[in-house]
Chain A
Amino acid sequence: MKSLAELKAIKEKMQNQMNMRSDADHTRVVVGMATCGIAAGARPVLNTLSDEIQKRGLTDKIAVTQTGCIGLCQFEPIVEVYEPGKEKVTYIKMDAEKALEVIERHLVGGHVVEKYSMGASGLK
């Protein structure tokens, strides 16, 4: 069985490098994880986003969180991107591959991936 000793080592390592997180200048990436989202395949989207952002060392700038149903069940999996000082971008019918593209082109590159956004599907 895996022991808690390893956890202790992580704690000691982390305490030395706990950086100040300020939420105000954070980009928030929110994934809908209610019944509708999960059934449509939101879990791989959530895990891809959080793993990739961790892998790229972006956790200081970008926070991945989850939310419930926002009432647009037919467009799930939905990912919303809130960047400070910018308008919210809503991506619809997402999957793991599209999520990687959004990280690469939007979160890192700074350009909204219009073809996956709700605006592109003629909805507001």
Chain B
Amino acid sequence: MMTEISLNVLDVAENSTRAGASLVEITLAADTKADTLTLIIKDNGCGMTPEQVAHVEDPFYTTRTTRKVGLGVPFLKQAAESTGGSFKITSEPGVGTTDTAVFGLSHIDRMPVGDISTTIQNLIVFHPDTDFVYTYRYDDREFVLDTREFREVLGGVPLDTPDVAQYIKEYLTENKQETDSGKLV
């Protein structure tokens, strides 16, 4: 059972890296007026055929051969829909896949966002060859982490170097705090 939205992000974004994406864009946006929390995970991986897309929300469908269930996407879909929100997945072979989950921000059943900063840091550090663009928005304030910018500054120093990994964590944590003043949990 996933207990945080951030754990769903960690899991579903893994599908993107497995699909061979070189760029994964993750957006988490809270809108207090519309009372929504929107999560978008967009990749430029291998994409899915219409037939696969039709099956992807089915927990008893997976392309894997080690087991018979695929629960990542159904978990996220259920978590969003149970808060009066929605879930949508669009995909095209050779172009990529976009998952969009909208949660009711103040809905009693919305699971906590959880440690989203650690999730993003985990994704970056454990996939040092994939680029990530992470956008975090709270009403009209936002910050962006673009690993392509980081790479440019770093020259040849890899993103999984311990000091860099630590910096990424601090960058995410401090900027999140400044963006939402600790209001989004």
Contact = CB atoms under 8 A, between A and B. Distances in A.
Given A15-B157, A46-B122, A38 B167 contact: no
Nearest to A65: B126
Contacts of B70: 35
B118 A47 contact: yes
B183 interface: no
Given A35-B75, A65-B126, A71-B66, A11 B154 contact: yes
Nearest to A15: B157
Interface residues of A, number: 31
Contacts of A69: 64, 66-67
A66 B154 contact: no
A35 B10 CA distance: 9
Given A14-B163, A33-B14, A7 B150 contact: yes
Interface string B80-96: 00000000000000000
B167 A43 contact: no
A14 B163 CA distance: 8
B167 A68 contact: no
A47 B164 CA distance: 15
A86 to B, nearest CB: 24
B1 A39 contact: yes
Nearest to B161: A14
A34 B71 CA distance: 10
Interface stretch (B25-33, B47-55, B169-177): B169-177
Contacts of B10: 33, 38, 43
A59 B125 CA distance: 14
A65 B129 CA distance: 13
Overall SS of chain A's interface: helix
A8 interface: yes
B46 interface: no
Nearest to A10: B163
Interface string A4-34: 1011101101110010000000000000011
25 contacts: A1-B175, A1-B178, A2-B170, A4-B150, A7-B154, A10-B157, A10-B161, A10-B164, A11-B155, A11-B157, A33-B10, A34-B11, A34-B72, A35-B2, A35-B75, A36-B71, A38-B11, A39-B1, A47-B118, A50-B125, A65-B126, A66-B126, A68-B14, A69-B64, A71-B66
Interface of B: 1-2, 7, 10-11, 14, 18, 64, 66-67, 70-72, 75, 118, 122, 125-126, 143, 149-150, 153-157, 161-165, 167, 170-171, 174-175, 178
Sort A-B residue pairs by CB-CB distance and give the 3 closest, nearest first.
A71-B66, A35-B72, A14-B157
Interface of A: 1-2, 4, 6-8, 10-11, 13-15, 18, 33-36, 38-39, 43, 46-47, 50, 54, 59, 65-66, 68-71, 73
Given A11-B157, A14-B157, 6 more contacts: A4-B149, A33-B14, A33-B126, A35-B11, A38-B7, A65-B126
